[in-house]
Structure 1
Amino acid sequence: MRIATLAAAAVTVVLLVAGIVLLRGDPGTATTGSTSLHEVGHDGGTRSYRVYRPATLSEPAPLVVMLHGGLGTGELAQRGVGWDAVADAEGFVVAYPDGVGRAWNAGGGCCGNPGRTGVDDVGFLTAMVDEIARALPIDRARIYFTGMSNGAMMAYAMACRTALAAAVGAVAGTQLGDCAQPDPVSVMHVHGTDDENIRYDGAPGSGVARIDGPSVPELNGFWRTVDECAAPVSTSSDRVTTLRATCRDGRAVDLVTVAGAGHRWPGADEHGALDATRMIWDFFAAHHR
């Protein structure tokens, strides 16, 4: 797989981070809970993350880990896609970790300095989840990973290399590196047909990181095989087509395709197509380990 170096030019920061932050209208939507900042020692260094706890917490509570995209941060991810508001409504905890140099080592040499130097992001995220579960009443059968772009790749890496996830929600990403013997896990993948950064057809993408991974349908088929799924059923509404497969032991593998959408996290304000955050949470809520 061919993956170019992730650069840090200021103009690129604007372009890629805008794809994460400016999708749901006002990122300052009022929330009722509180955000705390944390550090955890790992692999000879210190890693940082944020935790959002709603005012009313169900016990034991689900944990959603939201992984920022390339050149993003946990703070930008928290501001950008509305997870705190859904956590307020549903009573779960959200973690927003920070990648080293604004990127994640998601496998296959991607991305940026973490990919080049072999940063142990799987170990960091595992340690972070353990630390949160010691501090809060987390239901370990309901731990979920979601992310955008490089963050979506990292979510897949967690599914491939750990047994933590009850489900994964990937937006505008792909799967890179080895995934030889993953545990079965429910998967929802959301992708636009006009994404030029991480292409739907799997061809090398444009932009800063020329990702050359599997096509989205191929990746969807991989997880249907892992999860021992029945033949998928397709439904369409407006520009959104959902390919849904029911699988062994109550799991599911869903592919949500947004016609004409680019490299972005679909929000409730995007032509009324879909609210990816709410859709992914509803998927998570229906699946536990």
Structure 2
Amino acid sequence: MTDHTQRMQARLAEMLEATRLTGTGRLQDATTLIQRSLSGIVPSPAARAPAAKTLSPPTIDLVAERVETRPAAESASVTEARLVPERVREAVEGVVRGLGRGVAPVLKGLGGQGLGLQGLGLEGLGGQGRNAFPDAPRSSGRGEPGEFLELSFSGSTGARDYKLYVPTGRRENMPLVVMLHGCKQSPDDFAAGTAMNALAESEGFLVAYPAQSSRANGHRCWNWFEAGDQGRETGEAGIIAGITRAVVAEHPVDPKRVYIAGLSAGAAAAANVAQAYPDLYAAVGIHSGLAAGCARDLSSALMAMNMGAPGTGLSGGFGAPVEGLGIPAIVIHGDGDKTVNPRNGEEVLAQAGADGPRLRQATESGTSPGGLAYSRTRYSDEAGRARIESWLVHGLGHAWSGGDPSGSYTDPRGPDASRAMLAFFLEHSLAAGRA
């Protein structure tokens, strides 16, 4: 092990311990530990923050604590402290960037304004700069084709609102794509950024956008790392599946052509749902996300986001794989992603069965019209059908590749992730089987 690797591991351990101390209200101890990690800086008395009696739950983008069961009395303001802004930002950026569980009050107590929260991406997903959320036209609720309907679902596992785009000229047996937004996003914002509704209008399919509740997650992140939200007929995985079933039952959807995709926290949640429901979804799209079940708590989520999670739930594949293959998957990741380590994309591929002995691998390289180079790899079975597809976009950060800048966390320079996902999805149906 190199000295550099040892230093990196030591620093990560210190940052994780600082996170734990902050979450328990030991703000001064956390501050001291962070500053000690920064080349031996010792905080001056003016830089020390008094210990808070209680703290509201820490929010870290992609990692979000449930808040609906916590009494309001548990939240308390924290006195601001001033650290050395640039040094602190450089050290903790890779650890806290994109985590999401009410971290705002915690970082405010650590001198959040001086730390540059916008630069850390703690207002949302991180990565590319944030755009304002556009206001999509509101549905009249009458269900006419070509509308963006506002709907709600309630079932045994819980309730959520969602939006549904129904294209003009609706017909029977249309495909359905379920889209899971990232932290601090909304269905309207995600629809704008991915331009998936425009694609649905031109190609003739429906798009459902489940909306995470701010009561379930202060930053509207899907709780992808919570064990209770990962399995079949439980928590948020059950809610998302319930919304999918409701749309299939109430609209002209082909039940054999139902797909799920997401970005960041939404991508991690999509992986969980796909693993739990291989009988409901024909394929999954994971953009800048993580493997299903790769984290079960805050510490493992931090580790996975920053270093990947080798050996954690990766050997079984999605669902019940046949000869190493599970539900077909398309994986898109930027090699410049500082929020979710690109190694996570490799782990998703492994979980989907990319190392299957009977798969044939073919890679092509290109450059998008916007100027970003990419590598596209397809893993095909003996019949020539691609079971897995991987896009590694060079220079892309934590953002939807080829997205519309009217939505947040998009990079229009990259290849069109929405079209790539749709093309892959339409190659697969449940009727085609898993072999």
Give the structure 2 partner of residue 73 of structure 1. Answer: 186
Secondary structure in structure 1 of the residue aligned to 2:390: strand
* Aligned residue among 224, 244, 256 for 2:353: 224
**For structure 1, which segment, 264-273 or 138-147, has the greater mean C-alpha deviation from structure 2 after superposition?**
264-273
Distance in 2 separating the partners of 1:185 and 1:141? 13
Are the equivalent residues in 2 in contact too, given 1:69–1:149 (CA < 8 A)? yes
1:109 partnered with 2:265: no
CA deviations 1:230-251 (Å, max 9, x no partner) are 1311110121101110136745
Secondary structure in structure 1 of the residue aligned to 2:125: helix
- State the one-letter code of the partner of 2:281: A
1:46 partnered with 2:159: yes
Distance in 2 separating the partners of 1:90 and 1:285? 11
Give the structure 2 partner of residue 264 of structure 1. Answer: 399
1:244 partnered with 2:378: yes
Distance in 1 separating the partners of 2:423 and 2:355? 22
CA deviations 1:234-286 (Å, max 9, x no partner) are 11012110111013674520110001111000116756531111111111112
CA deviations 1:62-102 (Å, max 9, x no partner) are 00001001222222212221000000011100000012321
- State the TM-score, normalizing by the size of structure 1: 0.80
Distance in 2 separating the partners of 1:65 and 1:17? 23
- State the one-letter code of the partner of 2:203: E
CA deviations 1:207-236 (Å, max 9, x no partner) are xxxxxxxx3223313312587751311110
Instruction: Call closer, same or farther: CA 1:34–1:19 in 2, change over 3 Å.
Output: farther
Give the structure 2 partner of residue 182 of structure 1. Answer: 319
Cα-Cα RMSD? 3.2
The total of aligned residue pairs comes to 266
- State the one-letter code of the partner of 1:105: N
Secondary structure in structure 2 of the residue aligned to 1:219: helix
**For structure 1, which segment, 177-186 or 141-150, has the greater mean C-alpha deviation from structure 2 after superposition?**
177-186
Instruction: Call closer, same or farther: CA 1:18–1:74 in 2, change over 3 Å.
Output: farther
Which structure is higher in RCO with an 8 Å CA cutoff and minimum separation 6?
Answer: 1
* Aligned residue among 270, 283, 288 for 1:155: 270
**For structure 1, which segment, 175-184 or 143-152, has the greater mean C-alpha deviation from structure 2 after superposition?**
175-184
- State the one-letter code of the partner of 1:16: L
**For structure 1, which segment, 52-61 or 270-279, has the greater mean C-alpha deviation from structure 2 after superposition?**
270-279
1:197 partnered with 2:197: no
Unpaired stretches in structure 2, ≥5 consecutive residues: 1-15, 17-61, 65-99, 105-116, 138-144, 294-312, 321-325, 368-372, 405-410, 431-435
Distance in 2 separating the partners of 1:282 and 1:166? 13
Give the structure 2 partner of residue 209 of structure 1. Answer: none
* Aligned residue among 172, 181, 189 for 1:59: 172
Are the equivalent residues in 2 in contact too, given 1:27–1:80 (CA < 8 A)? no
Higher helix share: 2
